[in-house]
Amino acid sequence: MTKPQSLRSRRIAVLAADGFEEVELAVPVAAMRAEGARVDIVSLRPGRIRGVNLHEPASRVSVDRTITEVAAGDYDALLIPGGFINPDLLRQSAPAREFVRSFDALGKPIATLCHGPWLLASAGLTEGRRMTSWPGVRDDLVNAGATWLDQPVVQDGNWLTSRGPQDMAPFVRELLAFFGGKPAQAQAQGAPAAGRVASSPQRNAPPQVVLGAMKWLPRPSLRTLVLAGAAAAFYLTRHDAKGSRRLAG
């Protein structure tokens, strides 16, 4: 068992957007703060961002700094939570992609889990790396040049990756040691894996807990339908207005 090292005086960035998986942010953040770390929630917009439990809305957290207000040099380590929505938003953000590139160029620790590695792939950083993720992301990472391992936690140089909430206990244990200064494994960052170990095979079926989650959801309330309709109408109105301005120009 890896012994956690003190995070006192360490400054950690947690890069997250709306739709982050609540447990993947809340549990590691609580553990890091308990070890004395100063943790900032960094996001694409100011205010409060909404978490999810699978696809159900969950608690919100306050944003400490926006992505345009920070630099990799401000922090000692970076955590990227997953979720279905959060990393999809982050990977479309040029400042978010550049933020993780800067972290990696400096050799600073980066930890992520679940769908979080999508951002690393979109930043063009996964070629030659050994890593893991939510099994559904396996093909994305392999196609982006990574070796994907079906293991609870994988460390490769300055990266620590994990499959998701099912591996939260070993991930947090390793995370505390990793961010506390645990020596990197022998493989240098960005270097091809010795002997180019083959990726673990694709899964044959998705998790039953996810398959069954939609089955037990209640029907949407009238308020939900009205809000969804209003949001769609607002988007379409803005889209049409922009098209009209372009034609007029």
Q: How high is the pLDDT of residue 240?
A: 62
What value does the mean pLDDT take over residues 11-23? 97
134 and 187 housed in the same domain: yes
116 and 236 housed in the same domain: no
In a domain, 212, yes or no: no
In a domain, 244, yes or no: yes
φ/ψ of residue 83, rounded to 5 = 110, 160
Q: By the 8 A CB rule, do 151 and 130 touch?
A: no
155 and 237 housed in the same domain: no
What value does the mean pLDDT take over residues 12-21? 98
Q: How high is the pLDDT of residue 114?
A: 97
User: Which tens digits make up the pLDDT trace of 133-159?
Assistant: 999 999 999 999 999 999 999 999 999
Give whichever of 98-107, 190-199, 229-238 has the largest mean pLDDT: 98-107
26 and 123 housed in the same domain: yes
Cβ neighbours for 43, distance < 8 A, ≥ 6 positions apart: 15, 16, 17, 49, 63, 66, 67
Other C-beta atoms lying within 10 Å of the C-beta of residue 85: 18
| Active-site position among 10, 91, 97, 115 | 115
Q: In terms of residue numbers, what domain contains 46? A: 11-207
C-alpha–C-alpha distance, residues 85 and 140, integer Å: 16
212 or 44, which is more confident? 44
Question: For the chain, what is the domain count?
Answer: 2
Question: Any catalytic annotation for residue 115?
Answer: yes
In a domain, 2, yes or no: no
In this predicted structure, the answer to whether residue 56 has a pLDDT above a threshold of 90 is no
In this predicted structure, the answer to whether residue 190 has a pLDDT above a threshold of 60 is no
| Lowest-confidence pick of 11-20, 123-132, 188-197 | 188-197
C-alpha–C-alpha distance, residues 57 and 199, integer Å: 34
138 and 237 housed in the same domain: no
C-alpha–C-alpha distance, residues 27 and 64, integer Å: 18
Q: Which band of pLDDT confidence, cut at 50, 70 and 90, is reported for residue 218?
A: low
- The domain that contains 40 carries what CATH number? 3.40.50.880
Q: Which band of pLDDT confidence, cut at 50, 70 and 90, is reported for residue 206?
A: confident
User: Which tens digits make up the pLDDT trace of 20-42?
Assistant: 999 999 999 999 999 999 999 99
Q: Which band of pLDDT confidence, cut at 50, 70 and 90, is reported for residue 54?
A: confident
197 and 226 housed in the same domain: no
Predicted TM-score (pTM) of the model is: 0.82
Q: By the 8 A CB rule, do 159 and 131 touch?
A: yes
178 and 235 housed in the same domain: no
74 and 26 housed in the same domain: yes
C-alpha–C-alpha distance, residues 150 and 167, integer Å: 11
Q: Which band of pLDDT confidence, cut at 50, 70 and 90, is reported for residue 181?
A: confident
- What are the tokens at 89? 């938003």
136 and 243 housed in the same domain: no
144 and 112 housed in the same domain: yes
82 or 243, which is more confident? 82
Q: How high is the pLDDT of residue 247?
A: 56
Q: Which band of pLDDT confidence, cut at 50, 70 and 90, is reported for residue 199?
A: very high
Q: By the 8 A CB rule, do 104 and 128 touch?
A: no
φ/ψ of residue 63, rounded to 5 = -85, 130
Q: By the 8 A CB rule, do 191 and 164 touch?
A: no
Average pLDDT, the chain: 88
In a domain, 3, yes or no: no
- In total, the chain counts a number of residues equal to 249
Q: How high is the pLDDT of residue 192?
A: 45
